[in-house]
Amino acid sequence: MCLLALSWQQTTRYPLVLASNRDEFLPRPTRPACFWPEQPNLLGSKDLEAGGSWLLASQQGRWATLTNFRDGRNLSAGNLSRGELVLQAMQQPLTELPKWLEANRHNFAGYNLLWGDNNQAWYFSNRLTEAPRQLEAGLYLLSNATLNTDWPKTRRLKKAVEIWQTTENCHPDQLFATLTDPTPAQDKDLPNTYIGLEKERFLSSIFIKGESYATRTSTLLWQEADGYWHLHEKNHATDKKLGNEHYYKWQSDLSN
């Protein structure tokens, strides 16, 4: 289902900070983060079942990420995998992507998409009637509702990012500690996404632990003022698979 926080142009030291969890069925095959051999400009993990991704960056400073929109009353699967949206966001010209998203609004199950480059950030959900919109500087939260919906898990992640980006000598492990917090929300704070109380409880923690469905990957993407980018990914261990960790650093042209 996924969870993320995007800090956009809030501090001069870190123009962009993106903290993300990917929740997925454990058997779904995935390639860990790397520069894609088939598309060397793309950096991130790949869903090997449908060929897309949930978070990608490029050497030029483009980036894109998504979450699913959860509504038990509307379980339409859509004609295309939502991972295709991240690929399109990385490959389409930024000025053309909003038109493509509008034209293909009904081809996907519910989603939220964030994308941008060194100079701009955008948001779109096919569960809203609004057109894609450009974001002003701010801290944005997404889980499985629309942008900045106040859920317990988004509230806790927001606080962690606020502290991290304003702390001297901050370390990625400080954010990873929040991204791996399995504390569930109290029943009184649970959202109602029409999936039943037990599932709402199960999905309420930042880090989901289940036998067949769980938080599989935590990713941090951040940019420094001098144009250096960092992508740090942790793939979590399961009963049948060891965890692994991947880190990349590169410099983009700030004029892009």
What are the tens digits of pLDDT across the range 185-207? 999 999 999 999 999 999 999 99
Q: Is the Cβ–Cβ distance between 155 and 1 less than 8 Å?
A: no
In a domain, 167, yes or no: yes
Write the CATH number for 22.
Answer: 3.60.60.10
Residue 172 lies in a domain: yes
| Per-chain mean pLDDT for the chain | 95
Tokens representing 54 are 């949930």
Question: Domain range spanning residue 132?
Answer: 3-251
Q: Judging by DSSP bridges, how do beta strands 133-134 and 138-142 pair with one another? A: unpaired
Total number of domains constituting the chain: 1
Sheet holding 213-223, edge to edge: 138-142, 3-8, 16-25, 213-223, 228-235, 244-251
Q: Can you tell me the mean pLDDT for 31-41?
A: 97
State the pTM of this model: 0.96
Q: How far apart are CA 49 and CA 21, in angstroms?
A: 19
* Predicted confidence (pLDDT) per residue in 78-128, tens digit: 889 999 999 999 999 998 999 999 999 999 999 999 999 999 999 999 999
Please answer whether residues 64 and 113 qualify as being in contact, where contact means their C-beta atoms are separated by less than 8 angstroms: yes
Give the distance from CA 82 to its chain's centroid.
Answer: 12
User: Which two three-digit tokens encode residue 28?
Assistant: 């779904």
* 85 located within any domain: yes
* pLDDT value of position 147: 98
Quote the Cα angle for 4-69-149, to 5°.
Answer: 60
DSSP 7-70: EESS-SS-SEEEEEEEEEETTS-EEEEEE-SSSTTEEEEEETTTS--SEEEETTS-EEEEEEPP
- The residues, ordered by sequence, that sit 6+ positions from 171 with a Cβ below 8 Å of its Cβ are none
Is residue 256 included in any domain, yes or no? Answer: no
Asked if residue 140 is part of any domain, the answer here is: yes
Q: Is residue 94 part of a domain?
A: yes
| Nearest-5° Cα angle at 54, 56 to 80 | 120
Phi-psi category of 187—alpha, beta or left, where left has phi over 0 and alpha has psi -120 to 50?
A: alpha
Is 118 a domain residue? yes
Q: Which residues contact 94 (CB under 8 A, 6 or more apart)?
A: 115, 116, 117, 120, 122
